[in-house]
Amino acid sequence: MSDDRRVEVGGSSVSTLHYIGGRRVGSPSSFEDRSPLDWSVKLADVARGDADTAAAAVEAAQAAFPAWAALTTAERGEHLHRLADVIDANIDRIAEVECLDMAMLQESLRSRVIPRGAVNLRNYADHALKHEERVWSSKGTANRVIRMPAGPAVIITPWNAPWMLATWKLAPALAAGNPVILKPAEWSPLSASMLGDLADEAGLPPGVLNIVQGIGEEVGAALVADPRVARISFTGSPEAARHIGVAAARNIVPFTAELGGKGPLMVFADADIDASAKKAAGQYDDSGQVCLAGTRILVEESVRDEFLERFHRYSDAHVPGDSREPTTTMSPLIHPDHLASVDGFVRRARDAGDRVVRGGRVAEVDGRRDGLWYEPTLIEPASNDAEIVQREVFGPVLTFQTFATEEEGVALANSTPYGLSGIVYTTSRERAERVGRAVRAGTVWVNTFLVRDLTAPFGGCGISGIGREGGDYALDFHSDLKTLQILEDSTG
């Protein structure tokens, strides 16, 4: 089954098949991919990979490994730059497909998210080149630390940022010399498929990038169980990470996991209250389907009323609608099952005695409430142990709590099992340093949000993840580090 099968999505022709060894390959069965913008619209029947698909993809990656690993860092970098150039030439097309497939705002995709794919690739092409092997003398030997390419890397991504995360994860793997098998999420598989076409256009050698489509528990599980896989880089839920971690442990394979979050957004009385309230209402962007979102608003008691008044004003300005329209600020949720999950959290909160302060139901769009939009929702929990405080909702649902002292605020911030991100608003430099250090999270932003330096470490504490990506951290992960020791004066 190697003839390509393609569908028209927006203005683009997109393959519905796997991309293995530089060829389009099918599977006996398929799964449906629908658009969150209008669930009655079926975008594609996508190949549903199985154990054979996984084995073929790993084989193709393994076959490509020696030649890819043998290239110099600069030569691999040239390939990544070419792929980045091809991405840049196709930004509008990719944005249109991603918007129909997972409904992130099209303008944001076009201006920020899709170009970031090219930035990710260029960043790693150039960053890998800057690496200098550590060399030092000790105990009569010359010591040198060498990065050896590790082998085929499996990359598994979630549905909420398919393009950004695929490119963020495959760039360091490829730069380090590892061929990749990418498995996108089954709810938003199309932009990853486009990567296959772009890789062809960029002349990436066959087998260096392989893309398999399908269900996590099927082809995903088969991939991570394959003993020929040398690295597993996963982004998704803690639940799936537990299964993948078991498979990685069986084969003793290094595994990174970027998982869910329940970030605090802390506002101190000395903060710019308007800026903090605006940013808090901005946590509804992308309908809250953002792992890094500050979903627990924690405000110092003395500024509670001022904060809430401004927060509601900014939240009221959100416009749910078609993500392709420039006036829309809130996209629909990805899938009816996800809408039911988000609504279930809110219903259970109500039943448990938490107070729904705003929102709390399916949103009205064009006079109807039968779409996948959910109202920007704010809940005052009855206690800090409430499910709505302790578990990631991954929708436009925020909680609101107050604190009397900095210590109490920090204790609340650190009171969930997650630790991905935190946001702090204060104008005190001392407090910024103190609280920034005290909040247990992989990334803490003070008076800003989502600003990233791609060389900085990125990851989570607690059930938010294992390992770090970004800069050298991801290159080290994708390499086997070797210490080479040569007895001094023993060689010419």
Catalytic residue set = 258, 291
The residue assigned the tokens 């209008």 is 38
In the bound state with ligand NAD, the residue whose beta carbon lies nearer, of 160 and 191, is 160
Q: Compute how many other C-beta atoms are within 10 angstroms of the C-beta atom of residue 246.
A: 12
Sign of the CA dihedral with 260 first, then 266, 271, and 277 last: positive
Region from 101-109, 238-246, 248-256, 398-406 binding ligand NAD, contact rule CB under 6 A: 238-246
* Span 335-394, contacts to ligand NAD by CB under 6 A: 392, 394
In the bound state with ligand NAD, the residue whose beta carbon lies nearer, of 124 and 159, is 159
Q: How far is the CB of 63 from ligand NAD (least distance, A)?
A: 23
Region from 108-116, 233-241, 271-279, 349-357 binding ligand NAD, contact rule CB under 6 A: 233-241
* Cα-Cα end-to-end distance for the chain: 57
Among 19, 65, 159, 449, binds ligand NAD (CB under 6 A): 159
The H or E element containing residue 126 is: helix 114-130
Q: What token pair was written down for 93? A: 């097309």
For the chain, the C-alpha Rg in angstroms (whole number) is 23
Q: How far is the CB of 270 from ligand NAD (least distance, A)?
A: 30
Q: Is 9 in the site for ligand NAD (CB under 6 A)?
A: no
Do 471 and 127 meet the contact criterion of CB atoms below 8 Å apart?
yes
Q: Compute how many other C-beta atoms are within 10 angstroms of the C-beta atom of residue 205.
A: 15
In the bound state with ligand NAD, the residue whose beta carbon lies nearer, of 307 and 445, is 445
* Span 463-492, contacts to ligand NAD by CB under 6 A: 465
Among 120, 123, 160, 331, binds ligand NAD (CB under 6 A): 160
Among residues 236, 261, 260, 231, which one has the least CA distance to residue 248?
231
Q: At residue 94, what are phi and psi to the nearest 5 degrees?
A: -65, -40
**Cα–Cα dist 281/396, whole Å:** 10
What 3-state class would DSSP assign to 290?
coil
Q: How far is the CB of 53 from ligand NAD (least distance, A)?
A: 13
* Span 182-211, contacts to ligand NAD by CB under 6 A: 183, 185-186
What 3-state class would DSSP assign to 319?
coil
Do 23 and 2 meet the contact criterion of CB atoms below 8 Å apart?
yes
In Å, how far from its chain's centre is CA 188? 13
Q: What token pair was written down for 98? A: 């991603």
In the bound state with ligand NAD, the residue whose beta carbon lies nearer, of 289 and 402, is 289
Q: How far is the CB of 467 from ligand NAD (least distance, A)?
A: 11
Instruction: Output the residue with the shortest Cβ distance to ligand NAD.
Output: 216
Binding mask 244-273 for ligand NAD (x = CB under 6 A): x-------------xxxx------------
Among 237, 251, 414, 415, binds ligand NAD (CB under 6 A): 237
Q: At residue 176, what are phi and psi to the nearest 5 degrees?
A: -80, -10
* Span 427-466, contacts to ligand NAD by CB under 6 A: 460, 465
**Cα–Cα dist 303/402, whole Å:** 9
Interaction site with ligand NAD (CB under 6 A): 156-161, 183, 185-186, 216-217, 220-221, 224, 235-237, 240, 243-244, 258-261, 291, 392, 394, 420, 460, 465
